[in-house]
């Protein structure tokens, strides 16, 4: 966190100054470790084993917060009889179809009922609800980013054993599932000494409960794995058991790779979501708005109002053209025919199906996994638009990529027309950032952009305007969705740059917030209607412009308000600073402790009150019991804090919504020098690889397989404080470039001695995909560890560099592969296996030959590493 | 603008002000001046982000000075120089931090432990020290003493600033600095160093580095307040068992009369590349002049004696 989020780390330092203990779990000793109380180096790719071990410790030693767990989680819910765990099936769950590499989630259900996912893969149940046959392509296309809010559908009433004794209740299933994650097993897998592991267990459990809370902070070190979503799920289980959700000082914080990545999932840049986590419709036959709502939304919880959210969104986009008679233009929305994630898009480029590509602030030729595949994909396009501050590698690969050097590509033969359009920085435009706590903060333009640089808002608005002008006389039905768009944002110009007609960013914010039939700004998503009388561009952001005031621009100093600081910026939903904060009070509505009081039930006034905005119906008594036929929010009881879930409970066990199992299970990464010590199953059986098999994306043997020893080291890519992601914002700036001017790798003195690597000399790092060279930084911050009885080394690879700019070097992503997490299609670049040798890499064609030689030595074929 | 008129033609004040606790602004000719301002750099909370280096270069328009991979941990800017006015040192050590037990004591009360102030980086026997270095703005500044043009001057805030439009590049100040801070740019020969953002101070703003520091490792303020704060922080760290913690440049009785920019260190100054016992290089000037006088008198006396003796011959 101190490396990649130094500004945010000030709050960790502040907590530390007040006595908080900071535990840093990371294979490397980083700037964060330097300031932590305990640094726990673990083998990259083994966090589920580590966290699962803590779950086992908490359950085995009765360290869980029982009152919280019984009241607010699904611990007591009884599962259907046909569920079989990894314990029963040697590391896989019931429902696995090994040929299709998918799970049928039907055996993961609650006894006697069907549950729908809160978020994640909601479409799993579409066919069950609407009827008909679901194609595999559609099924695999996924619901993507599971963070943010979501809804869950449930039909029937779950059977619950509040004593948590029933053998099929989730609590007992959980206990059995994690029983084999003993401290010794954890140590053997992760390389963390048993003593250190137990110290973490003790600190965490002692610092949780009625009086105290602990929080988790993670970044892409958890997400970028073939089981990335399950990493975070394991932390979620732990936080539920310890009572650390919905309470001050608790929670799980996802630190984002860029400013406003949270914002770009709320109002998504993702293929599978509409604004506010409304799922993108699939290409089901004859799906209209009614069947979409029926198929995707639950009967209970706030998601039961999905029709109002969707209709208001359609009204925001298509205005007067959206009427009840034409389903509010629901048919104007594109439909998913499969997964269209970044990596599938690359495959589509290679296949010639994807012909044009916009890169806005993204440098895949450096920053995406298997950089070569990215470049080959771009070389097969008709046109490419790059908008960035500098001439990044993704804009110049056609003249200076390794493929040009090796002769694999020649500039004359590349048909791609490349447009480079310089972009304005955040200081040069108005706009908002949404941070990981869902807080929007407005930033005002400070200076005019230089030269031809323009904001993304300017670019998108005027591109749309010009396209609409060109289509104006069209009578083709296909063009209606574009011509009917509400595309009328006011523009402004500064006296210094009269030629720039910059759209008013606040006008966009006002549309996102929405207005009523009279045009007055809305203040809450509870005002949204399904009859088309309200307009709202993103239902969860409704209220950010209440009373016509930009609430995100508020900057009232902390000393002038209470510690929750509700008048600094604005947080969705409804300016709540801590989600599910009903859980900060006990079932009777009293705070669990005075020290950790946040919101509570005021019996005299008969309403919820407290420091934060209650995330609960303000007047719903803790003793409220819903009538049997209630729907929507009415159907949630007074003790159901998790208001977006159809059962109002948080989920230790996930009966629906995940493609790779209802409970997190340790699997080794796609490539690992170590066999899975827990189960016969080596890797996540449903990791996403089949669509990715390509001669430039070969996998390596793992564990005890022959040839695995050719790649004996674990390598991990990461960022350092000096640079930003793929370098577009840092390598071209002299003051940042000089701080870390060259690509380097980090190795321990022991590994340096083993391979003859010289400090500040050169090393070549090789995988089945590529060979790169790096300067060598020998440092004791890299800890050799003992795993499964053998000495194991990491090779650390910061991934910021490329050929362009002032600070240069080979991109680490030449080494990485396209085996993905099946839920969110993210690449596994945090844990792979490699070899390292002293000296510089060969040039041109000889470089490819070195890789081919390694492939032959390891016996790599098309099938290697693709086993279920 | 710098009060050049006060300084020009004013040679080094050698009237007993080279030692001890004095008020440099008063000594510099400001009878009515704001409180002495300075930096307290608490290295125990430095996270090595280098925001200070970048903010300093950006604000002061300092040129990039070398794209060199040094292999010195994460330090590639190497040290203070003409074009590096803030520098973060990175020290990797096989050394535990003080007395805090990094091992596991299963019966300890961790809650009680958590209530105590925490020591930085208790990580077994390894630690990574980070420290942002800067010009010390000495109470007795030798660079200023030796400057023949008045380019270097004492500001009303008690800081020491070099004026780029007056410096003639003579270079006397370079060897005069006991810390090796001030440095010449090869391109133009002039001397450059931290101005403690004199331009920002003059309009009531804090220096760029302190403004950018996310963890308040760099604290800016009236020196008296900073010294109090530093004393309290040191006491807390000692209480927490960090016996190695110490203040550097805090003592007005040291060889430079105390620094306007002082530090909390977690090890010996040498570990950070700082001189253990810096002394203002012009300290001995008065006594040297006395010796010169005596020597001259002796010489004259000797010559006279020889002359007299010669006459007798």
pLDDT at B271: 95
B92 touches chain A (CB under 8 A): yes
CA distance, residue B223 to nearest chain A CA (Å) = 23
**A613 CB contacts (<8 Å, ≥6 apart)?**
A566, A574, A575, A576, A577
pLDDT in tens, A163-192: 999 999 999 999 999 999 999 999 999 999
For A739, the closest of B77, B122, B215 (CB atoms) is B77
Length of chain A: 868
pLDDT in tens, A203-213: 999 999 999 99
pLDDT at A338: 85
A243 pLDDT higher than 80: yes
Give the phi and the psi of residue A228 in degrees, each rounded to 5. Answer: -60, -45
Kindly state the average pLDDT of the residues A351-367. Answer: 96
**A84 CB contacts (<8 Å, ≥6 apart)?**
A93, A94, A107
Kindly state the average pLDDT of the residues A607-614. Answer: 97
pLDDT in tens, A539-594: 999 999 999 999 999 999 999 999 999 999 999 999 999 999 999 999 999 999 99
pLDDT at B12: 45
For B57, the closest of A34, A722, A735 (CB atoms) is A735
CA–CA distance from A134 to each of A130, A154, A271, A291, A858 (Å)?
11, 21, 19, 14, 40
H-helix or E-strand spanning residue B183: strand B183-184
CA–CA distance from A418 to each of A347, A365, A421 (Å)?
19, 14, 10
**B253 CB contacts (<8 Å, ≥6 apart)?**
B20, B21
B112 touches chain A (CB under 8 A): no
B2 pLDDT higher than 70: no
**Is B115 close to A19, i.e. CB distance below 8 A?**
yes
Q: For strands A713-718 and A832-838, give the pairing.
A: antiparallel
pLDDT at B4: 37
A748 pLDDT higher than 90: yes
* pLDDT band, residue B113 (cuts 50/70/90): very low
Q: For strands A252-254 and B160-162, give the pairing.
A: unpaired
A-proximal residues of B, 117-176, CB under 8 Å: 117-124, 126-130
Q: Which residue of A has its CA nearest to B78?
A: A739
For residues A68 and A242, give the distance between their C-alpha atoms in angstroms, rounded to a whole number. Answer: 8
* pLDDT band, residue A692 (cuts 50/70/90): confident
**Is A775 close to B117, i.e. CB distance below 8 A?**
no
pLDDT at A114: 66
Phi and psi based region of residue A564 (left: phi greater than 0; alpha: psi -120 to 50; beta: remaining): alpha
Q: What percent of chain B has pLDDT over 90?
A: 68
H-helix or E-strand spanning residue A15: helix A9-17
Handedness of CA A336, A341, A342, A345 (dihedral sign): negative
Kindly state the average pLDDT of the residues A764-788. Answer: 96
Domain boundaries, chain B: 4-282, 284-313
CA–CA distance from A312 to each of A330, A479, A522, B90, B141 (Å)?
11, 22, 12, 55, 70
With beta carbons less than 8 A apart as the criterion, state whether B169 and B48 touch. Answer: no
CA–CA distance from B276 to each of A734, A769, B265, B267, B268 (Å)?
34, 52, 12, 11, 8
Say which residue the tokens 């606790």 belong to.
B21
Domains located in chain A, CATH noted? 342-427 (no CATH), 448-502 (no CATH), 690-857 (2.40.40.20)
CA–CA distance from A273 to each of A141, A336, A440 (Å)?
11, 10, 20
CA distance, residue A253 to nearest chain B CA (Å) = 19
pLDDT at A501: 96
pLDDT at A702: 97
pLDDT in tens, B176-198: 999 999 999 998 999 999 999 99
* pLDDT band, residue B283 (cuts 50/70/90): confident
* pLDDT band, residue A120 (cuts 50/70/90): low
**Is A736 close to B77, i.e. CB distance below 8 A?**
no
Residue B271 DSSP code: G
**Is B76 close to A739, i.e. CB distance below 8 A?**
yes
For A13, the closest of B45, B63, B104 (CB atoms) is B45
Kindly state the average pLDDT of the residues A86-97. Answer: 96
pLDDT in tens, B62-99: 999 999 999 999 999 999 999 999 999 999 988 754 33
**Is A737 close to B117, i.e. CB distance below 8 A?**
no
A806 contacts on B by Cβ (under 8 Å): 64, 67
Which of A1, A5, A6 best probes binding to B when mutated, by most B CB atoms within 10 angstroms?
A6
pLDDT at A583: 98
For residues A555 and A478, give the distance between their C-alpha atoms in angstroms, rounded to a whole number. Answer: 46
Q: What token pair was written down for A581?
A: 């904060």
Kindly state the average pLDDT of the residues B228-254. Answer: 95
**Is B117 close to A9, i.e. CB distance below 8 A?**
no
**Is B49 close to A2, i.e. CB distance below 8 A?**
yes
Q: Which of A153, A154, A150, A152 is nearest to A278 (CA)?
A: A150
Would you tell me which CATH number, out of the four given (3.30.230.10, 3.30.559.10, 3.30.70.20, 2.60.40.1730), belongs to the domain B4-282? 3.30.70.20
* pLDDT band, residue B218 (cuts 50/70/90): very high
Q: Which of A833, A619, A652, A666 is nearest to A245 (CA)?
A: A652
pLDDT at A118: 56
pLDDT at A155: 62
pLDDT at A693: 85
pLDDT in tens, A491-526: 999 898 899 999 999 999 999 999 999 999 999 999
B48 touches chain A (CB under 8 A): yes
Q: What's the whole-number average pLDDT of chain A?
A: 93
**Is A31 close to B47, i.e. CB distance below 8 A?**
yes
B115 contacts on A by Cβ (under 8 Å): 19
CA distance, residue A739 to nearest chain B CA (Å) = 5
B289 touches chain A (CB under 8 A): no
pLDDT at B10: 41
For residues A86 and A92, give the distance between their C-alpha atoms in angstroms, rounded to a whole number. Answer: 5
For residues A695 and A372, give the distance between their C-alpha atoms in angstroms, rounded to a whole number. Answer: 11
CA distance, residue A733 to nearest chain B CA (Å) = 9
A664 pLDDT higher than 70: yes
Residue B62 DSSP code: P
**Is A38 close to B120, i.e. CB distance below 8 A?**
no
Kindly state the average pLDDT of the residues B54-63. Answer: 98
Least confident of A27-36, A57-66, B109-118, B135-144: B109-118
Q: What percent of chain A has pLDDT over 90?
A: 88
Say which residue the tokens 């729907």 belong to.
A631
pLDDT in tens, A615-662: 999 999 999 999 988 888 899 999 999 998 888 999 999 998 899 999
3-state secondary structure (DSSP) of residue A145: coil
Q: Which residue of A has its CA nearest to B50?
A: A722
pLDDT at A127: 59
pLDDT at A645: 86
**Is B67 close to A738, i.e. CB distance below 8 A?**
yes
A608 pLDDT higher than 90: yes
B104 pLDDT higher than 80: no
H-helix or E-strand spanning residue A57: helix A47-60
In the sheet with A570-571, reading across from the earlier edge strand, the strands are: A431-434, A439-443, A570-571
B107 touches chain A (CB under 8 A): no
For residues A37 and B105, give the distance between their C-alpha atoms in angstroms, rounded to a whole number. Answer: 15
B293 pLDDT higher than 90: no
Question: Which residue did the predictor score with more confidence, A136 or A17?
Answer: A17
Q: What token pair was written down for A216?
A: 């988790």
**Is A13 close to B215, i.e. CB distance below 8 A?**
yes
Q: For strands A744-747 and A771-778, give the pairing.
A: parallel
pLDDT in tens, A282-316: 988 778 999 999 887 777 778 889 999 999 999 99
* pLDDT band, residue A140 (cuts 50/70/90): very low
């Amino acid at each position: 966190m101190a490396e990649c989020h130094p500004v945010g780390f000030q709050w960790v330092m502040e907590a530390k100054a007040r006595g908080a203990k900071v535990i840093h779990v990371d294979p490397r000793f980083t700037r964060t470790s330097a300031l932590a109380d305990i640094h726990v180096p673990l083998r990259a790719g083994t966090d589920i084993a580590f966290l699962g071990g803590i779950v086992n410790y908490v359950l085995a030693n009765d360290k869980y917060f029982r009152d919280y767990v019984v009241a607010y989680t699904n611990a007591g819910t009884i599962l259907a009889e046909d569920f079989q765990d990894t314990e029963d099936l040697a590391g896989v769950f019931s429902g696995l179809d090994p040929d299709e590499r998918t799970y049928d989630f039907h055996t993961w259900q609650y006894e006697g009922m069907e549950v729908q996912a809160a978020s994640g893969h909601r479409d799993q149940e579409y066919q069950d609800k609407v009827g008909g046959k679901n194609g595999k392509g559609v099924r695999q296309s996924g619901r993507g980013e599971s963070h943010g809010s979501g809804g869950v559908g449930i039909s029937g009433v779950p059977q619950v054993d509040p004593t948590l004794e029933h053998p099929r209740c989730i609590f007992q299933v959980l206990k059995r599932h994690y029983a084999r994650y003993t401290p010794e097993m954890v140590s053997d897998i992760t390389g963390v000494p048993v003593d250190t592991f137990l110290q973490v267990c003790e600190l965490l459990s002692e610092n949780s409960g009625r009086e105290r809370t602990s929080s988790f902070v993670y970044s892409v070190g958890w997400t970028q794995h073939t089981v990335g979503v399950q990493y975070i799920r394991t932390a979620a289980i732990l936080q539920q058991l310890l009572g650390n959700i919905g309470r001050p000082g608790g929670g799980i914080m996802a630190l984002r790779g860029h400013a406003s990545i949270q914002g770009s999932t709320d109002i998504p840049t993702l293929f599978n979501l509409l604004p506010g986590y409304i799922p993108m419709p699939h290409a089901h036959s004859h799906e209209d708005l009614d069947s979409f709502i029926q198929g995707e939304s639950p009967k209970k919880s706030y998601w039961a109002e999905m029709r109002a959210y969707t209709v208001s969104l359609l009204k925001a986009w298509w205005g007067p053209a959206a009427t009840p008679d034409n389903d509010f233009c629901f048919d104007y929305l594109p439909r998913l025919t499969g997964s269209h994630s970044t990596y599938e898009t690359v495959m589509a480029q290679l296949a010639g199906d994807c012909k044009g590509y916009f890169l806005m602030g993204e440098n895949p030729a450096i920053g995406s996994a298997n950089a070569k595949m990215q470049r080959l994909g771009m070389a097969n396009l008709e046109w490419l638009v790059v908008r960035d501050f500098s001439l990044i590698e993704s804009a110049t690969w056609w003249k200076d990529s390794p493929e040009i050097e090796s002769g694999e590509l020649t500039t004359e033969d590349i048909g791609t027309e490349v447009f480079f359009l310089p972009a304005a920085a955040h200081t040069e435009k108005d706009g908002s950032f949404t941070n990981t706590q869902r807080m929007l903060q407005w930033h005002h333009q400070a200076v005019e952009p230089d030269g031809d640089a323009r904001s993304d808002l300017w670019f998108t608005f005027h591109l749309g305007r010009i396209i609409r002008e060109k289509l104006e006389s069209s009578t083709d039905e296909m063009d209606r969705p574009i011509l009917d768009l509400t595309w009328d944002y006011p523009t402004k110009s500064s006296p210094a740059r009269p030629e720039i007609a910059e759209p008013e960013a606040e006008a966009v914010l006002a549309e996102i917030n929405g207005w009523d039939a009279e045009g007055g700004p809305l203040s809450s998503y509870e005002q949204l209607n399904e009859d088309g009388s309200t307009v709202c561009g993103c239902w969860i952001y409704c209220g950010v412009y209440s009373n016509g005031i930009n609430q995100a621009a508020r900057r009232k100093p902390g000393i002038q308000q209470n510690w929750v600081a509700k008048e600094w910026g604005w947080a969705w939903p409804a300016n709540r600073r801590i989600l599910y904060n009903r859980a900060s009070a006990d079932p009777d509505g009293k705070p669990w402790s005075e020290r950790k009081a946040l919101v509570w039930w005021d019996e005299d006034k008969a309403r919820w009150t407290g420091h934060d905005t209650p995330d609960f119906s303000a007047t719903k008594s803790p003793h409220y019991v819903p009538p049997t036929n209630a729907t929507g929010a009415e159907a949630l009881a007074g003790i159901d804090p998790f208001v977006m879930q159809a059962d109002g409970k948080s989920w230790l066990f996930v009966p629906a919504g995940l493609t790779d199992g209802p409970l997190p299970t340790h699997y080794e990464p796609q490539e690992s020098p170590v066999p899975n010590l827990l189960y016969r199953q080596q890797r996540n059986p449903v990791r996403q690889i089949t669509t990715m098999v390509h001669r430039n994306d070969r996998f390596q043997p793992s564990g005890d397989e022959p040839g695995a020893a050719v790649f004996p080291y674990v390598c991990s890519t990461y960022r350092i404080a000096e640079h930003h992601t793929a370098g577009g914002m840092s390598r071209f700036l002299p003051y940042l470039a000089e701080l870390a001017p060259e690509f380097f790798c980090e190795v321990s003195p022991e590994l340096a001695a083993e391979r003859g690597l010289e400090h500040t000399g050169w090393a070549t790092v090789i995988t089945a995909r590529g060979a790169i060279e790096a300067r060598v930084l020998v440092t004791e911050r890299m800890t050799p560890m003992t795993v499964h009885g053998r000495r194991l080394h990491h090779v650390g690879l910061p991934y910021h560099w490329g050929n362009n700019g002032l600070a240069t070097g080979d991109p680490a992503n030449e080494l990485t592969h396209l085996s993905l997490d099946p839920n969110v299609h993210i690449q596994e670049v945090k844990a792979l296996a490699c070899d390292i040798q002293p000296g510089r890499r060969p040039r041109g064609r000889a470089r490819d030959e070195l890789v081919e030689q390694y492939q032959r030595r390891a016996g790599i074929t098309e099938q290697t590493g693709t086993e279920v | 603008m710098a009060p050049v008129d006060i300084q020009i033609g004013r040679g080094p004040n050698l009237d007993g002000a080279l030692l001890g606790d004095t008020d440099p602004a008063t000594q510099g000719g400001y009878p009515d001046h704001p409180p002495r301002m300075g930096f307290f750099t608490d290295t125990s909370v430095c996270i090595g982000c280098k925001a200070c280096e970048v903010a300093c270069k950006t604000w002061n328009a300092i040129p990039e000075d070398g794209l060199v991979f040094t292999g010195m941990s994460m330090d590639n800017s190497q040290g203070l120089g003409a074009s590096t006015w803030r520098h973060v040192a990175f020290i990797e050590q096989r050394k535990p931090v003080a007395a805090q037990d990094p091992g596991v004591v299963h019966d300890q009360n961790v809650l009680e432990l958590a209530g105590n102030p925490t020591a930085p980086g208790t990580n077994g026997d390894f630690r990574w020290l980070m420290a942002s270095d800067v010009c010390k703005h000495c109470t007795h500044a030798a660079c200023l003493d030796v400057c023949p043009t008045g380019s270097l001057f004492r500001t009303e805030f008690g800081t020491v600033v070099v004026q780029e439009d007056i410096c003639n590049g003579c270079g006397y100040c370079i060897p005069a600095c006991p810390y090796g801070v001030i440095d010449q740019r090869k391109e133009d020969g002039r001397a450059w160093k931290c101005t403690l953002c004199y331009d920002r101070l003059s309009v009531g703003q804090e220096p760029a580095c302190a403004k950018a520091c996310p963890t308040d490792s760099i604290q800016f303020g009236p020196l008296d307040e900073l010294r109090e704060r530093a004393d309290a922080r040191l006491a807390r760290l000692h209480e927490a068992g960090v016996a190695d913690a110490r203040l550097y440049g805090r003592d007005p009785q040291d060889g430079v009369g105390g620094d306007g920019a002082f530090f909390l260190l977690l090890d010996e100054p040498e570990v950070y590349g700082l001189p253990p016992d810096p002394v203002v290089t012009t300290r001995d000037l008065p006594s040297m002049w006395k010796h010169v006088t005596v020597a001259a008198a002796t010489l004259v006396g000797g010559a006279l004696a020889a002359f007299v003796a010669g006459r007798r011959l």
